[in-house]
Structure 1
Amino acid sequence: MAKLLKAMKRPAALWGVPMVPLLAVTGVTIIVAIWTSPVLLALLPVEFFLMKSLTRKEPMRFNLIAVWLRVRGSPIANRLFGATTFMPVEHEAVDIKEFIDAMKLNQCATIKKYIPYSSHIHQHVVRSPKSDLYCTWELMGTPFDCESDESLQFGTNQLHGLIRSFEGMPVTFYIHNDRNTFTDNLHKDSGNPYADEVSRLYYASVGLFRRNRLFLTVCYRPFVSLEKAERKRMKDSQKLKELDGALLEMLEIKSTLDTALSRYGARPLGTFTEGSAVFSSQLAFYEYLLTHQWRKVRVTRTPAYDVMGAAALFFSAESGQINHANGT
């Protein structure tokens, strides 16, 4: 099973060389050889073995290079701060030349275009700007201390079978393990001054507890690249009809996972109402992934990527830093 899951995550390859970069390099070499000299075709075997040596120890090397190119930020701001920088908001150019030279805020890359969340189209479904659909559950867990090894293995195999049932579908899963602190206090005034004082002193001496919170996110991509090109030529009514059909398919996936994950105490994240305002625990979790800080995210007509990511991000070769608006 481990080998199967590992194979599902590896890119398509020819004798160990990923197909996409191999075809790109081969195509460029052939085109250049046609326009210049056929002698350049002799470089094809050299390029193949060079790419194979690069991916021998790390098959995902070219994927990592592609990710690095996408999140390299703005070179001007990176040189100023000495790290790859993403700001929470965009800044316009300022007329004061000294201020621009000192801060360069209008030249910083923003996190907005990297946020893949747009709006709620269902209580438990969030849509991305590219029409990808997301659902998230918090897994509370299940008692296992007194379970037999056979029962635990049966549950593991059942979960693996569930994941394999989505093979061939444009569906992917993300697991996030959040390690955080919390407080637990059972103090209640009993009317007995002595007992109340003992209880208060006891809980005052107890420090913070730590816990792990496990989250599962499923992403469904209903439209492939060619379909997206065709959708650009559709009318708004046709796009809405296509999106309604994709939402129904996503709700079927959610229903299947709700049933399968019920034994693990799964709780779907979604919208909830406080007073007259609507908030989203799902967007709050995505905000935590971006800023490592929990805060309520209100659901409005404004796209989610305009109100999320309220922190400045700095990345260097070996470390990263998050500066929140409250100074932490």
Structure 2
Amino acid sequence: MLSPKQKLMNDALAASTHVPYTVHVSPHNVRTLTGDTLTVMRIDGIAHEAADERDIEGWHDALIGLMRNIAAEDIALWIHTVREERDKFPDGEFSDDFAGRLNTLYRASLSNSAMMVNTHYLTVLVRESTATGFFRPAGGRLTLTAAQDAIRDASDRLDTLTRGILAALSRYGAHRLGTRQHNGIVYSDTLTFLARLVNGTSQPIAVPKGRAAFGMVNARLSFGVEQFEIRLPDRRQVGAMLGVAAYQIERTEPGHLNVLLTLPFPFVLTQSFAMFGRNKAMAALRKQQRLLINAGDASESQTNDIALALDDLAAGRAVFGEHHLSMMLLADKEDALTGRVAAARAALGEAGFLVVREDECIEAAFFAQLPGNFRMRPRPAPISSNNIVGYTGFHNYPSGRLEGNQWGPALTLLKTTSGTPYYFNFHLPGSSKRSVEEAAVDDRLPGHALILGPTGAGKTVIQTFMLAQAEKYRPTVFTFDKDQGQANFVLAMGGTYSTLRNGIPTGFNPCALDDTPGNRTFLQHLVMRCIRGDEPAHRFSPTREREVQDAVAGMYAMPFEARRFSAILPFFDPTDPNGNAARFRRWCAGGTLAWVLDNPIDTIHLSTGRYFGFDVTEFLDNDETRTVVVMYLFHRMEQLIDGRRFILNMDEFWRLLQDPYFEGKALDAVKTYRKRNAIAVFGTQSPADVLRSSVSRQLIEQCVSQLYLPNSKAAHEDYVGGFGLTEREFEIVRKEMVEANLRGFLFKQEASSTVCELDLAGFDDDLAVLSATSQSVEIARRAISLAGPRPDEWLPRFHEMRREAI
């Protein structure tokens, strides 16, 4: 009596007879039993959701052109769309603090809903011909050398063809599958994908020594009427196959089957397209024309469509071939399978197919998913290249990159409105899987971000949430805040936060900086800026400039405890009525602006902690003091940008863009921070004000990640004319997200965009930290005064006091 394991192996061996693959003839190419040679490409797909119709039409036309370019009677294509669950949360270590607890809660909230990802695969086959097969039509056997030459010629031809296809599909993220080595074992990603079609799950397949098919099937397959079973040692799945009985439309539009990309369950959609030669295509069309006429039910439009198809074929505008389509649905239970079959039939019917659930042909339909199984395809029918491109436009929803990003694992996982996962990163994904520590400085990828959203849309919550999720990278974060909106967050992260007030000593003492050439140069510029005041035309004579240099040098010669702004004044000539002393005096003790920089000690301590926040609201409109405050804060901040992971975080940064000094600093930051392992995150409510800046275009270009929150009052000239959104993206921001009451944003990175959700409903305590009000800031300060500065001690008290105040 056979053991269960032996029976499973026998069933797998029997199923292997329907798997047509024999051997890898090259790292990328596989040979079939019938002498065909194939290669497989994995295609991420192109983001269509927010693309303009004109762009989508352009992609469609380009794919039709590709079909014409590769057309040959011995070329066949298999196209698969695999939709599967993927909700792996990005790795990353957090401490047991605010960010860590928020991460745990957020991760748990996502586990309540399954997310799906779509992946496309394109298999290209060069079919056996008398020139490439082992046997001649007369039955004469080729010599071994001739047979090997024929195999090599077919493989070389496929390589040439594939290179052209990959170039044409570069915008779609096409990658060729092949072999790879791991722990001394050579694995085949090509066979792994093909085996997934029959096993219902993916498992690495090593390159076998014998016939490839025998090492690919590891499941027990049982076929009944309308249903089959895939049984693995640890799982049982039931499945159904849907097929096309008739095509009820003659013409397809770009993205004709996009409705399938949002179905809430897994599936494998398979299509094949075996190209006709021109004579065969002409014969097939004329046969179809005769059948319609003889049946007596041909409409005028059907007759015209065939006539147009004949014209397209004769003029070389279209290619024709034999097409089949199937959908494999799997579930753990029969009830779930029944529901999925009904939903899938409805979606395919909406696309214009007369859909059947395979019964007698179920086994043939199942194995026809495998490229090269031509004879098993149920009901193949002739269609044009225009149709097949409409059915397989390789559209998709972006999914980001889970691993191998600039700073390692993805920053966070977001759910898109299509139900797919999006692995969010500020940095561009790049083309390799190396993290930044493995990359040369010049290879570091940009990661500056721009967050735009009106009042009440949740901009501050998104900005601070992303910073909290970035805590896994242990960055240093320097925040320029407005209206104390991020005060509670900075303090909850164990940071220091200062609210700068006009007329109140800031605690800044630039003279306490270490005596270094860089600090001396900075102090000279700072002192000259104070002397110049609000007179940009003021010029320093060589004598007065030398006087500033000598004054800074003289101050540094003094004991540390005596070094302050007032200590510089005595080094200036007091007799010159418009000299340095007269202009600098107001910044020193007794002067109207002494509170800004003439403080006995410097209260900015950057040697401990990683979070520093400054509310500069009152300085934004103070022309007298704004520039010097920005100069000092930026100088202290840039001393921290030494190769460590660093984030410059700015809320309402457009207000600072009104300052010419900050304009230059901001532009320098977005251009140079990449090589220094730093990024800038800018938030604003007013895109129009950003665009008024003379450096707005350069800033927008350098901000590679852009987050647009719903805005019913979004102006076309700002979002499309200024920020470069497409018309479709603008419609999503101004209308669709607003109407859906979406808590989320349109995320745009380079030419790709997707709509992401960030719904923190039920996170009341966390939201009070992520986005502060004047009332909650005051409560936080009282809680700190009672419980102490440690966040794990004052946060519970804060939440108690906040609830009592509601």
- Closer/same/farther in 2, CA of residues 172 and 213 from structure 1, 3 Å limit: same
Q: Which residue of 2 is the match for residue 142 of structure 1? A: 46
In the other structure, the counterpart of 1:153 is 57
Counterpart-to-counterpart distance in 2, 1:124 and 1:225 = 22
TM-score in terms of structure 2 length = 0.27
Partner Cα distance (1:209, 1:318) in 2: 28
Match of 1:176 in 2: 80
1:178 positional shift? 0.9
Instruction: Name 1:205's counterpart in structure 2.
Output: 109
Moved over 4 A (4+): 224-228
In 2, the alpha carbon distance for the partners of 1:277 and 1:292 equals: 24
Residues 237-263 of structure 1 deviation map (CA, whole Å, 9 limit, x = unaligned): 221111111111111111111111111
* Contact 2:13–2:214 under 8 Å retained in 1: no
- 1:221 aligned onto 2:127: yes
Q: Which amino acid aligns with 2:169?
A: L
In the alignment, is the contact (CA less than 8 A) between 1:187 and 1:203 conserved in 2? no
Q: Judging changes above 3 Å, is the alpha-carbon distance between structure 1 residues 228 and 187 closer, same or farther for their aligned structure 2 residues?
A: closer
Determine if contact 1:117/1:127 at 8 Å carries over to the other structure: yes
Asked if 1 retains the 8 angstrom alpha-carbon contact of 2:135 and 2:142, the reply is: no
The verdict on how the C-alpha distance between 1:317 and 1:267 changes in structure 2, with shifts beyond 3 A counting, is same
| Distance in 2 between residues matched to 1:115 and 1:124, nearest whole Å | 18
Q: 2:37 corresponds to which residue?
A: 133
- The amino acid of 1:279's aligned partner reads Y
User: What letter is aligned with 2:37?
Assistant: L
Tell me whether 156-165 or 193-202 shows the greater mean CA deviation.
Answer: 193-202
- What does 1:19-30 correspond to in 2, within 5 Å? none
Aligned partner of 2:167 among 259, 269, 287: 259
Distance in 2, matches of 1:110 and 1:190, equals 50
Q: Is the 8 A contact 1:88 1:111 kept in 2?
A: no
Q: Deviations over 1:95-128 (max 9, x none)?
A: xxxxxxxxxx8xx981122111112111211111
The structure 1 residue matched to 2:186, chosen from 278, 294, 299, is 278
CA distance in 2, matches of 1:226, 1:88: 37
- What root-mean-square deviation, in Å, do the aligned CA atoms of Structure 1 and Structure 2 show? 2.5
Q: Give yes or no for contact 1:112–1:305 (8 Å, CA) kept in 2.
A: yes
Match in the other structure for 2:426: none
Equivalent residue in structure 2 for 1:303, among 211, 222, 240: 211
Which residue of the partner structure matches residue 320 of structure 1? 228
Report if the CA contact (8 A) 1:188-1:196 is conserved: no
Give the CA deviation at 1:202. Answer: 2.2
Superimposed CA distance per residue, residues 72-100 of structure 1 (whole angstroms, 9 cap, x where no aligned partner): xxxxxxxxxxxxxxx8644xxxxxxxxxx
Deviation at 1:187, TM superposition (A): 5.3
CA distance in 2, matches of 1:206, 1:236: 59
Q: CA distance change for structure 1 residues 261 and 232 in 2, over 3 Å: closer, same or farther? A: farther
In the TM superposition, what are the counterparts of 1:180-199 in structure 2 within 5 Å? 180-186=84-90, 188-199=92-103
Shift of 1:174: 1.1
Larger deviation: 143-152 or 206-215? 143-152
Extract unaligned runs of 5+ from structure 2: 1-6, 237-806
Structure-2 change in CA distance of 1:296 and 1:247 (3 Å): same
Give per-residue Cα distances to partners, 1:33-85, cap 9 Å, x unaligned: xxxxxxxxxxxxxxxxxxxxxxxxxxxxxxxxxxxxxxxxxxxxxxxxxxxxx
Correspondence for 1:120: 24
Q: How many residues align?
A: 226
Secondary structure of the corresponding residue to residue 157 of structure 1: helix
Per the TM alignment, residue 304 of structure 1 is displaced from its structure 2 partner at its CA by 0.9
Question: In the alignment, does 2:14 pair up with 1:110?
Answer: yes
Distance 1:237 1:295, change over 3 A: same
Change in CA separation of 1:195 and 1:130 when aligned onto 2, cut-off 3 Å: same
Cα separation, 2, equivalents of 1:226 and 1:299: 24
Contact 2:178 2:190 (C-alpha < 8 Å) held by counterparts:
yes
The Cα offsets for residues 257-283 of structure 1, whole Å up to 9 and x where unpaired, read as 111111111111111111211111111
Is the alpha carbon distance of 1:232 and 1:206 closer, same or farther for their aligned partners in structure 2, counting shifts above 3 Å? farther
Whether 1:245 aligns to 2:153 is yes
| Distance in 2 between residues matched to 1:227 and 1:178, nearest whole Å | 32
What are the superposed Cα offsets for residues 211-232 of structure 1, whole Å, 9 maximum, x if unpaired?
1111111111132599543286
Q: Which deviates more, 273-282 or 206-215?
A: 206-215
1:127 maps to a residue whose letter is R
Distance 2:90 2:13 in 1: 47
Q: Distance in 1 between matches of 2:132 and 2:45?
A: 40
Q: Distance in 2 between matches of 1:292 and 1:232?
A: 41
The Cα of 1:235 is off from its aligned counterpart by: 2.3
Between 188-197 and 129-138, report the one with greater CA deviation. 188-197
Instruction: Give the match's secondary structure for 2:33.
Output: coil
| Other-structure match for 2:673 | none
Shift, 1:314, TM fit:
1.6
| Cα distance in 1 for residues equivalent to 2:81 and 2:8 | 25
Q: Which amino acid is the alignment partner of residue 216 of structure 2?
A: M
Contact kept in structure 1, 2:16 and 2:213, CA below 8 Å: yes
CA drift of 1:150 comes to: 2.0
Q: Percent identity?
A: 22
| CA deviation after TM superposition for structure 1 residue 163, in Å | 1.4
- Cα drift, residue 317 of structure 1: 2.4
Shift of 1:165: 2.7
Q: Please tell me the residue identity of whatever aligns with 2:127.
A: R
Q: CA deviation at 1:326?
A: 3.1
Cα distance change, pair 179–147 in 1 and its aligned pair in 2 (3 A):
closer
2:65 aligned partner, one-letter code: G
Counterpart position of 1:293: 201
Contact 1:171 1:219 in 2 (8 A): yes
Tell me the CA shift for residue 137 of structure 1.
1.2
> Contact 1:133–1:250 at 8 Å: present in 2 too?
yes
- Indicate the SS of the match to 2:192: helix
In 1, Cα distance between equivalents of 2:180 and 2:140? 33
Alpha-carbon separation, structure 1, partners of 2:9 and 2:140? 28
1:114 partner SS: coil
Distance across 1 between alignment mates of 2:8 and 2:213: 10
Task: Give the deviation of 1:146 after TM superposition.
Answer: 4.3
Q: Which runs of 5 or more residues in structure 1 are unaligned?
A: 1-86, 91-104
Contact 1:116 1:129 in 2 (8 A): yes
Rounded to whole Å, the distance in 2 between the matches of 1:237 and 1:284 is: 31
Q: Is the 8 A contact 1:187 1:199 kept in 2?
A: no
Offset, 1:325: 3.3
* Distance of 1:185 and 1:276 partners within structure 2: 30
8 Å CA contact 2:134–2:147 kept in 1: the answer is no
Q: Which has the larger radius of gyration?
A: 2
Give, as a single letter, the amino acid of the residue that structure 2 aligns with 1:326: D
Cα 1:280/1:256, change in 2 over 3 Å: same
After superposition, residues 9-20 of structure 1 pair within 5 angstroms as: none
